[in-house]
Amino acid sequence: MLCYKICKCHFQTGWWPDQEIKCYATGAATLSAKGNGKWAIDSASAGTATIQNQNQNQTTLYNFSNPGVYYLLWSDGLCQDTVVVRTGMNCNCAITPNVLFTPNQYDFCGMSSKDTLTGSNITEVEGTYKWIYKLNNQSYTAAPGTNNTKDYIVSNLNVGLHRYQRIFQKTSQPACVDTSNMIEINILPYPDAGKNDTLFCAVTDTAFLVSSTDGFWSLGQGSAGGANFSSVSGRSVKAFGFTSSGNYNFVRSNGICSDTTIITVQDYCGCDYAYAGDSLIDVYRDSYSLIGNCVLGIWSSVAGNPEGALIDATINGNSNVHFSKMAAGDYKFVYIVLGKYRDTLTIDIKERPIVNIGEDFGYCNDGSSFIVAASGGITYLWSTGATANAITVNPDTTTEYVVTGFNQFGCAAKDTINIIIYDKPIGSIPPIQPVFVADPLMLMAGEWKYALEYRWVGPNDFTSSSPVVIIPNATKQNAGMYFLSVMSPDECYTYSSVMVQVMERLLPVRLIDFNGHYDRDVKANLLEWSTFSEANSDYFIIERSTNGTDFNEISRVKSAGNSTSIQKYNLADDRITKGARYYYKLLQVDLDGKISNEGIVSIYSISENNMHANLYPNPVNTTLNLNLSGKTDGDLTLTVINSTGKSVWSKVISDHAGSDNLMADFEPNQFNDGIYFIHISSATFSEILRFVIIR
């Protein structure tokens, strides 16, 4: 037999290498083999026959066409083996074949299930059936239970090799006896792979695999890596040469069923001794790393050590010890591995200097310089590179300074100081255009960073703590320099000032109000103003600015000329960008070309989320309506200010809807006739509107 690989299909004949059948017409043979393969009848055979199942290891051969020699081949395509079945012509019984058919399952572990052994039906002659049985190498006896039927039922067979044959006793003449082929059912013991175990090191440790049953060993799927066996068939073998740490599944199999033991290989190599490291002398560090040789090692401090040492918990065989500034002397630390290996590390701590450079402090950022001095050492080294005991610093941002002081032993200690730089308020007051006597004067602090509190001081003993101040009826006494101090949360101050001019009104136009708001319907900033009376008035000029300082003319509106009744005017500016703020200045020009400044309004050209205020009617008699649309953050504060600058009514609103009248509880008939202002403010919105009460 020539093969090009190691054949796994070797034939097993069991109880007879070759078989001999007396009568080719009635006899049958049971074939048995190992490995994967297929049965076939060689062409050199005496004739043809029926193979019950060509692909089954154990099967039945019957229905021989001629007497003679039959060669049965078991092959996997590369290798093959042969069993010989010889058939004769001793057919005096003259019956049909007495055949037992091989069951689908004939190998079990531990115990068999219930099954029926099927035989051929002999009907053309009279006779009786009798089943015989033997266990392992014992002699044949009558099969237990009902054994005189064509088929036989087997169940609950225990471990062993069970063999069955059927005898047919012909009772008609001539009488004779015919014995069938044999069926074998093999009950194997359950494999035993032994107990699970744990190894410390993949490189050096060996696992001892012990099984109480026959079979062979293999490394199962899902194992962490590869390993070697001292033997694959022995009951007690060694597994070694693990390629990595993790779980290894070792399988013990008898070819039918298997058992698995799990060997857990840990990465704890080098744990067969303890080494704490070399002792240290003249150490002056604040902390030291305790490094062990095994991840299972535990560090501890020896009783009787001087005070001033604190050891951390051990993690993976390592720890840290921390020494206080007062620590001095010999400190011993024990390293123990697996409770039986130990080593001791000694650390000699010299007395260290006590270095001090004071507490952290802060100041407002104004470019000042400071002297920082250290004490407690003989020599020093600063984080700036300086080596004196005192240094001069002028940081412009918060800075940490570290000094290391050394004593006469060369031992060192550190101290740290943080100089915190507080931000001063940053901003400026926007310029204020000249105003006329009896017109409102608005002081605006402008936009400031780092601002917490504001305080105004000005002519005529003027003071205020609001960032936006309105003097409703300006007088000549209100003219002059106004000073603003702005304080940050860290109490840093910045100072600024602005000049205010108050001029006599030259043009004979009495302005009632000048208001503006964003109109959602027309998507434009809507300006509205009205006058009590006009004399020799020609037209109005409307100028626009985006910063409150630089104005450009955008339109002119013809005035009434001469009038003693209230005149109302409006202008829509649709050349705007949503979400931007615009400033509008109203100028009145008379027939002689003289120009007067009637005031400035500011409008947010709101986006979908901005706030918009709508105040009407104006002038008002009985009911004043105020509607807000858009969104804002936090509470809203409404404040009504009279012409003397005094607050006469206020209200705080925690929640509002765009359709609500927020001035429903304001009663105009309770106040004197005249000009009033309402200041609407929140964390993200501020607007001042002017209105007139006429009863």
| CATH number, residue 34 | 2.60.40.10
434 & 415 share domain: no
Is 42 within the bounds of a domain?
A: yes
| pLDDT by 10-residue block (mean), the chain, 695 residues | 36 57 88 88 92 90 92 89 91 83 86 87 88 93 91 90 91 84 89 90 88 89 92 89 92 88 88 85 75 89 90 92 84 90 87 84 79 88 89 85 83 86 89 84 89 91 90 88 90 89 70 81 89 86 86 92 87 87 87 80 64 75 80 79 83 72 85 83 74 79
Cα 624–Cα 626–Cα 629 angle in degrees, nearest 5: 165
Check residue 607 and give its pLDDT: 53
Check residue 70 and give its pLDDT: 94
624 & 670 share domain: yes
**Where a domain ends, among 422, 446, 466?**
422
4 & 82 share domain: yes
d(CA 39, CA 61): 10
675 & 616 share domain: yes
Is 550 within the bounds of a domain?
A: no
Output the six-digit token pair for 355: 């270095």
Check residue 19 and give its pLDDT: 87
The end-to-end CA distance of the chain, in Å, is 130
Give the number of domains in the chain. Answer: 6
Contact between 479 and 411 under an 8 Å Cβ cutoff? The reply is: no
416 & 434 share domain: no
Q: How many residues does the chain have?
A: 695
| CATH number, residue 656 | 2.60.40.3080
Amino acid symbol at 448: W
Check residue 311 and give its pLDDT: 93
Check residue 552 and give its pLDDT: 94
Listed residue (633, 624, 551, 546) closest to 586, CA to CA: 551
455 & 378 share domain: no
Contact between 391 and 384 under an 8 Å Cβ cutoff? The reply is: yes
221 & 285 share domain: no
Contact between 165 and 100 under an 8 Å Cβ cutoff? The reply is: yes
315 & 261 share domain: no
d(CA 216, CA 231): 9
Check residue 611 and give its pLDDT: 66
Output the six-digit token pair for 615: 């105040």
Check residue 464 and give its pLDDT: 92
Is 148 within the bounds of a domain?
A: no
Supply the range of the domain harboring residue 688.
611-695
Check residue 622 and give its pLDDT: 83
Contacting residues for 657 by C-beta, under 8 A, at least 6 apart: none
Output the six-digit token pair for 60: 């039945």
345 & 367 share domain: no
295 & 261 share domain: no
402 & 461 share domain: no
Check residue 284 and give its pLDDT: 62
Is 536 within the bounds of a domain?
A: no
Contacting residues for 691 by C-beta, under 8 A, at least 6 apart: 513, 615, 618, 619, 620, 624, 675, 676, 677, 678
**Where a domain ends, among 422, 445, 466?**
422
Tell me which residue has tokens 């921390």: 322
450 & 464 share domain: yes
3-state secondary structure of 340: coil
3-state secondary structure of 564: coil
Is 150 within the bounds of a domain?
A: no
Is 450 within the bounds of a domain?
A: yes
Is 128 within the bounds of a domain?
A: no
d(CA 456, CA 469): 9
Half-sphere exposure of 192 (CA within 13 A, CB side): 11
Q: Which long-range contacts (CB under 8 A, 24 or more apart) does 558-561 make?
A: 559/509, 559/534, 559/588, 560/531, 560/534, 561/534, 561/536, 561/537, 561/591
| CATH number, residue 205 | 2.60.40
**Where a domain ends, among 66, 91, 116?**
91
Contacting residues for 511 by C-beta, under 8 A, at least 6 apart: 439, 529, 530, 531, 532, 586, 588, 598, 599
Is 597 within the bounds of a domain?
A: no
